[in-house]
A and B are shown apart, each in its own frame.
Chain A
Amino acid sequence: MSNASLSLTAAKARLLAYQMVYRAQSGHIGGSLSAMDAMILLYGEVLRVDPRSAYDPGRDRFVLSKGHCTPALYAVLALHGFFPVEDLEHFRQLHCYLSGHPEMGFTPGVDMTTGSLGQGISAAVGMALAAKMNGAGYRVYAMLGDGELDEGQVWEAAMAAAKFQLDDLCAIVDVNGLQIDGKTADVMPTEPLDAKFAAFGWNVQTCDGHDFDQLRAAFQAALTHDGKPTVILMKTVKGKGVSYMENDPQWHGKAPGEELFLKGERELKAKIAELEGK
Chain B
Amino acid sequence: MGEKIATRVAYGKALVEFGAQYPNLVVLDADLSGSTQSGMFAKAFPDRFFNLGIAEQNMMGVAAGLAASGKQVFASSFAMFATGRCYEQIRTSIVFPKLNVKVVGSHGGLSVGEDGATHQCCEDIALMRTLPGMTVVCPADAFEMRLAVKALLDRTGPAYLRLARLATEVYTETLPGYRFELGKGTFLRPGKDVTLIATGMMVGMAWDAAQILAEQGIDARVIDIHTIKPLDEEMVVAAARETGCVVTSEEHSVIGGLGDAVCALLSQTCPVPVIRHGVNDHFGRSGKAQDVLNYFGLNPQGIVEHAKKALAMKRG
Contact = CB atoms under 8 A, between A and B. Distances in A.
Q: Among A113, A123, A129, find the residue whose CB has the most chain B CB atoms closer than 10 A.
A: A123
Interface in B52-80: 52-53, 55, 57-58, 60-71
A111 B48 CA distance: 23
A257 interface: no
B34 interface: no
Interface stretch (A154-162, A246-254, A260-268): A154-162
A40 to B, nearest CB: 24
A185 B131 CA distance: 37
A156 B47 contact: no
B50 A125 contact: no
Given A112-B97, A133-B47, A156 B58 contact: yes
Interface in A115-134: 115-116, 118-131, 133-134
A268 B10 CA distance: 63
A128 B65 CA distance: 8
B66 A129 contact: yes
A140 to B, nearest CB: 8
A130 B69 contact: yes
Contacts of B50: 129, 164
A17 B50 CA distance: 40
Contacts of B48: 133
Given A103-B97, A130-B65, A160-B62, A57 B92 contact: no
A254 B65 CA distance: 31
A129 B64 CA distance: 11
A84 interface: no
A33 B48 CA distance: 41
Contacts of B89: 116, 119, 122, 153
| Secondary structure type dominating chain A contacts | helix
Residue from B48, B60, B69, B71 whose CB has the most chain A CB atoms within 10 Å: B69
Given A115-B92, A119-B89, A156-B58, A126 B65 contact: yes
A105 B53 contact: no
Given A122-B64, A123-B68, A125-B62, A156 B55 contact: yes
Interface in B255-275: none
B88 interface: yes
Contact of A123 (B52, B61, B71, B88): B61
A129 B65 contact: yes
B122 to A, nearest CB: 26
B84 to A, nearest CB: 15
A195 interface: no
B98 interface: yes
Contacts of B71: 130, 133
A105 B62 CA distance: 18
Nearest to B69: A130
A116 B69 contact: no
Contacts of A111: 68
A153 to B, nearest CB: 5
A174 to B, nearest CB: 19
Nearest to A127: B65
Contacts of B61: 119-123, 125-126, 153, 157
Interface of A: 57, 61, 103-105, 111-113, 115-116, 118-131, 133-134, 152-153, 156-157, 159-160, 163-164
5 contacts: A122-B89, A126-B64, A126-B66, A153-B57, A153-B89
Interface of B: 26, 47-48, 50, 52-53, 55, 57-58, 60-71, 88-89, 92-93, 96-98
The 9 A-B residue pairs with the shortest CB-CB distance, nearest first, are A126-B65, A122-B61, A130-B69, A156-B58, A156-B55, A123-B65, A126-B62, A127-B65, A113-B97
Given A119-B92, A159-B53, 11 more contacts: A105-B97, A116-B92, A119-B61, A123-B64, A125-B62, A126-B61, A126-B64, A127-B69, A130-B66, A160-B53, A160-B58
